[in-house]
């Protein structure tokens, strides 16, 4: 299996289908999945939540709310976002990379 890129920004139909399949699994099955990335609770102390902290991250397929593009938010990127960048645990990727980049530049059109 060869991949041009596994950033999740431009998933092939099979990558997308696989990510959707994994996302629909029971959490216990996700946790044991080879693509799951373990969470480090010590790095999540900044998180203020009434819910349980995650014990792992799994690839999350999503559709950009601005342009409708399909992207996969990779488990390793979630780990970085929550544990390194201090992102809120309830925050989810809702816009694709292109739209987020355009917004940072202050453009309204990608
Ligand atoms: Zn977009």
Beta-carbon count within 10 A of 87 CB: 15
Beta bridge partners of 62: 71
Give 59-98 pLDDT, tens digit per residue: 999 999 999 999 999 999 999 999 999 888 778 889 999 9
CB-proximal residues (5 Å) to ion ligand 1: 64, 66-67, 69, 96, 99
| Domain edges within the chain | 13-46+53-104
Beta-carbon count within 10 A of 22 CB: 20
| pLDDT score of 108 | 56
Question: What does the radius of gyration of the chain's CA atoms come to, in whole angstroms?
Answer: 15
| pLDDT score of 49 | 67
User: Ligand 1 centroid vs 89 CA: distance in angstroms?
Assistant: 22
CB 108 within 8 A of CB 70: no
Report residue 1's pLDDT band, with 50, 70 and 90 as the boundaries.
Answer: very low
Spatial CB neighbours of 20, under 8 Å, sequence gap ≥ 6: 61
CB 54 within 8 A of CB 90: no
| Overall pTM surpassing 0.95 (yes/no) | no
Give 43-68 pLDDT, tens digit per residue: 987 776 677 788 999 999 999 999 99
User: Ligand 1 centroid vs 38 CA: distance in angstroms?
Assistant: 28
């Amino acid at each position: 299996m060869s991949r041009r890129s596994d950033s999740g920004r431009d998933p092939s139909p099979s990558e997308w289908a696989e990510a959707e399949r994994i996302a629909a699994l029971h959490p216990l099955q996700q946790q044991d999945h080879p693509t799951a990335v373990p969470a480090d609770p010590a790095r999540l102390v900044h998180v203020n939540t009434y819910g349980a902290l995650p014990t792992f991250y799994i690839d999350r397929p999503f559709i950009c709310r601005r342009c409708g593009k399909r992207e996969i938010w990779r488990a390793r990127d979630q780990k970085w976002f929550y544990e390194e960048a201090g992102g809120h645990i309830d925050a989810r990727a809702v816009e694709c990379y292109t739209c987020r980049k355009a917004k940072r530049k202050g453009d309204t059109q990608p």
